Structure 1
């Protein structure tokens, strides 16, 4: 399988090329440079492997949730590439890609949280399948950290910068449900997007370019404070 993936939903910008079981990745933390970085990353990976877009089996992208601008960049870039090369696209949850890092560290189940600003988190619970790849254990949502849904089981690992921004509240809320030290510095990467997309592609979950849509979870791009000094 030959698959190119991108992830731009957070301050991290990355692209990854999966060739069978090998994954090559370009990754940079540049919060305001995604539009400038992502195409050279993709082109560099293809050049290094001696491939063109048309030789790939599919494209993949982190569909969100995450920063609105970052998610829109991913959708625009991947749709353009897919239309140009007539390739199918595999959308992958950004939270699932984040959770995969915790599973790769040995966790059996992960509570993935990204700071959504406005006192909220993007939230998702994930467990590993038979191959150790992330599958949702509930619906993804955006909510205040104190309202994050309590899981039915114990032994969950917290992953993502939602645990850094709201660690006190989340740790207090989940208490004995947690196991191990959280990974608050983890950022989603195209490397995990590629691996999850490869699984989903083999299961027939690819879509045409026009159906490669973002998942925001929240429609509010910005909100003015209710009480603002004149």
Structure 2
């Protein structure tokens, strides 16, 4: 099965083409990851087409589209989800949404870590986070200040390692491993794999904003 993966939940725009081999692994045929905090819309479609060309895959060859649903800033996240929805609709493909933090945790799981905390930049001096154990997500996704998160993590909640945004990993001060700092093609597809392989109709894709957008209509500002 050939899967197109897209994520714009972080400053890194990620897209790629992966082959899911039933009963075996996931082979990434092509991937692009570009750090561009405010240029998601300008480059995403070009990166997708570059990946299809490098992988030697025509759009008609794709079997599914996987998209990271956040949490992430409103504008950047919307770019990736709208683009993924447009590709899936135009090609008649199922669209599978996954939590972007789950995708990062999936990559970290390959390091053999136990309890894994994933943190990404939520701006406004806050972080998006989720805590994972060997059997899956234990808490989150949520958005908090680093100080509030550190306080919550004391005691039994303390992770073995922290991955994600390097600046926030250092701020939290936990041990980190050499793992992905943003969702990867392999992580996105691995997270969606049970749904993709089932060929079942996926649930509607819903963005995980976790808070209101920065942009507010003029009439609502005073309120």
Distance 2:179 2:103 in 1: 14
Match of 1:127 in 2: 133
SS at match of 2:156: coil
Relative distance call for 1:222 and 1:123 in structure 2 (3 A) is farther
Distance 2:179 2:63 in 1: 34
1:55-103 CA-partner distances (Å, limit 9, x unpaired): 2221011110112211000111011111101111111111112223322
TM-score norm. by structure 2 comes to 0.80
Match of 1:219 in 2: 212
Relative distance call for 1:191 and 1:34 in structure 2 (3 A) is farther
CA RMSD of aligned residues (A): 2.6
Pairing partner for 2:161 from 157, 160, 164? 157
Distance 2:194 2:145 in 1: 32
Q: How does 1:75-224 map to 2 (within 5 A)?
A: 75-129=81-135, 135-148=136-149, 149-150=152-153, 152=156, 156-161=160-165, 164-165=167-168, 167-168=170-171, 170-171=172-173, 180-181=175-176, 186-202=181-197, 207=202, 211-221=204-214
Distance 2:100 2:201 in 1: 16
Aligned-residue offset at 1:212: 2.1
| Structure 2 unpaired stretches of 5+ | 21-25, 217-223
Equivalent pair of 2:129/2:141 in contact (CA under 8 Å): yes
SS at match of 1:61: strand
SS at match of 2:71: coil
Match of 1:227 in 2: none
Pairing partner for 2:69 from 54, 58, 63? 63
Distance 1:167 1:48 in 2: 36
Distance 1:217 1:206 in 2: 26
TM-score norm. by structure 1 comes to 0.78
Pairing partner for 1:22 from 27, 45, 50? 27
| Structure 1 unpaired stretches of 5+ | 130-134, 172-177, 224-230
SS at match of 2:209: coil
Equivalent pair of 1:159/1:184 in contact (CA under 8 Å): yes
Pairing partner for 1:47 from 53, 58, 63? 53
After superposing on structure 2, the runs of 4+ consecutive aligned residues of structure 1 that deviate more than 3 Å are 151-155, 165-168, 180-185, 203-206
Q: Number of aligned residue pairs: give it.
A: 207
Equivalent pair of 1:124/1:136 in contact (CA under 8 Å): yes
Equivalent pair of 2:163/2:169 in contact (CA under 8 Å): no
Equivalent pair of 1:90/1:205 in contact (CA under 8 Å): no
Identify which range, 192-201 or 65-74, moves more after superposition: 192-201
